Amino acid sequence: MTPALAIDKLRVVYDDFIALKDVSLTVAQGESFGLVGESGSGKSTLLRAVAGLAPVTSGTIDVGGKRLGKTREKEFYRQVQMVFQDPYGSLHPRQTVDRLLLEPLDIHGFADTEKRIQRALDEVGLGSGFRFRYSHQLSGGQRQRVAIARALILEPSVLLLDEPTSALDASVQAEVLNLLEQIRRNRKLTFVMVSHDLGVITHMCERLMVMQTGEEVERLEAGDLASRKVTKDYTRNLLVASEGFVREP
């Protein structure tokens, strides 16, 4: 089976700073793959490079067996979509939910917009009561649901999730995670998910990659983390740190 996403020796350079150093990665269809690691290690950059929002200097990206060029075609966006980290920043401040969801349908020339918007809202559990609200009339969790609905409305097969719950509180996080899992099951989606919460990653993903300074540190099964079967010191530090704060005497 062709992998949903195959990245080979991907390098991203800003001016002369190497944000991503030859990272390779394959994600099978229907799999959920996690990225964890140091802040600034290039996790978002990796997702943005796939989405065509970061400058790729070398390396290749294949989506569904098709090699991506320098510029993305319109078709590409019907295969790959992304949910951003910050629900407060990823919705246009002057547009209603309706308008936000209409935009992708309009760009891709869908006809039955009415039905699709309705279905997308139902799918993320918002219902039509929220359809004509502006984003400032929504809570963080509701905003993130709208962002997810927007990403799903083009029926992509790969969903890139950049810390989708880090700005949400524990109760809303649980709701959004449940929603994402349910959608993945129903639609047989492939996930690539960034989070710094190891609990969230092991909950959501089967495999994961640990990153530091733009490079891969190690690759693990989710179960390895639970049973502490890790080989690299950095990962071990992460595990210890995720236990919480320890005051030195």
Partner 1 sequence: MSTLLHVEDLRVSFPTRTGVVEAVRGVSFALGQERLGIVGESGSGKSQTGRAIMGLTPLQAEIKARRLEFNGIDLLKASAAERRALRGNRIAMILQDPKYSLDPVMTIGRQIVETLRTHEKVGKSEARARALDMLAAVQIRDPKRVYDLYPHEVSGGMGQRAMIAMMLIAGPELLIADEPTSALDVTVQLDILRILDRLVIDRGMGLIFISHDLRLVSTFCDRVIVMYAGKIVEELKASELSQAKHPYTQGLLNCMPKIGENRHPLPVLDRQPEWLL
Partner 2 sequence: MSDTVMTRREWLLTDRPQSRLQARLGRAYLTWSRFAANKLAVIGLGIILLLLFVAAVAPLLAPHSPYIGDLKNARLLAPSATNWLGTDDQGRDILSRLIYGSRLTLQVIVLVAVIAAPIGLLVGTAAGYAGGWVDAVLMRITDIFLAFPKLVLALAFVAALGPGIENAIIAIALTSWPPYARIARAETLTVRNSDYIAAVKLMGASPMRIVLRHIMPLCISSLIVRVTLDMAGIILTAAGLGFLGLGAQPPLPEWGAMIASGRRFILDQWWVAAAPGAAILIVSLGFNLLGDGLRDALDTRSGGQ
Ligand X SMILES: Nc1ncnc2c1ncn2[C@@H]1O[C@H](COP(=O)(O)OP(=O)(O)OP(=O)(O)O)[C@@H](O)[C@H]1O
Distance in Å, CB of 43 to Mg ion, minimum: 6
Contact between 44 and Mg ion by CB under 5 A: the answer reads yes
* SS3 (DSSP) at 121: helix
Please report whether residue 40 would count as binding ligand X according to CB under 6 A: yes
Options 38-46, 90-98, 102-110, 115-123: segment touching ligand X (CB under 6 A): 38-46
Containing 206, the helix (H) or strand (E) segment is none
Assess 245 for contact with partner 1 (CB under 8 A): yes
Exactly one of 2, 65, 107, 241 binds partner 2 (CB under 8 A); that residue is 107
Q: How far apart are CA 218 and CA 224, in angstroms?
A: 12
Beta-strand runs (E) in the chain = 5-14, 17-27, 32-37, 56-63, 66-67, 80-83, 158-162, 190-194, 207-212, 215-221
CA nearest to 46, candidates 15, 73, 18, 67: 18
Q: For residues 153 and 105, is the Cβ–Cβ distance under 8 A?
A: yes
| Contact flag: residue 171 with ligand X (CB under 6 A) | no
Judged by CB under 8 A, the residue of 9, 66, 119, 136 near partner 2 is 136
Binding of partner 2 by 86 (CB under 8 A): yes
Window 29 to 58, contacts with partner 1 (CB under 8 A)? 36-41, 44-45
CA distances from 78 to 98, 111, 208 (A): 19, 15, 25
Q: 192 forms bridges with which residues in the sheet? A: 33, 160
CA dihedral 83, 100, 86, 33 (to 10 degrees): -10
Find the shortest distance in angstroms from Cβ 186 to partner 1.
Answer: 13
Look at residue 5 and give the partner it binds from partner 1, Mg ion, partner 2, none, a contact being a CB closer than 5 to 8 Å depending on partner kind. none
Which residues, 24 to 63, sit near partner 2 by CB under 8 A?
Answer: 48, 51-53
Contact set for ligand X, span 204-223 (CB under 6 A): none
* From candidates 17, 227, 243, 244, binder to ligand X by CB under 6 A: 17
Contacted entry of partner 1, ligand X, partner 2, none for residue 122, CB cut-off 5 to 8 Å set by kind: none
Contact between 177 and 18 under an 8 Å Cβ cutoff? The reply is no
Supply φ then ψ for residue 235, to 5 degrees: -65, -40
Q: Identify what 93 binds: partner 2, Mg ion, ligand X, none; CB under 5 to 8 Å per kind.
A: partner 2
CB-hemisphere CA count at 13 Å for 171? Answer: 2
Which residues of the shown chain bind ligand X in the complex (CB under 6 A)? 14, 17, 19, 39-45, 140, 169, 196
Applying CB under 8 A, the residues found at the interface with partner 1 are 14, 17, 36-41, 44-45, 85-86, 88-89, 139-141, 163, 166-175, 177-178, 181-182, 196-200, 202-204, 213, 225-227, 237-239, 241-247
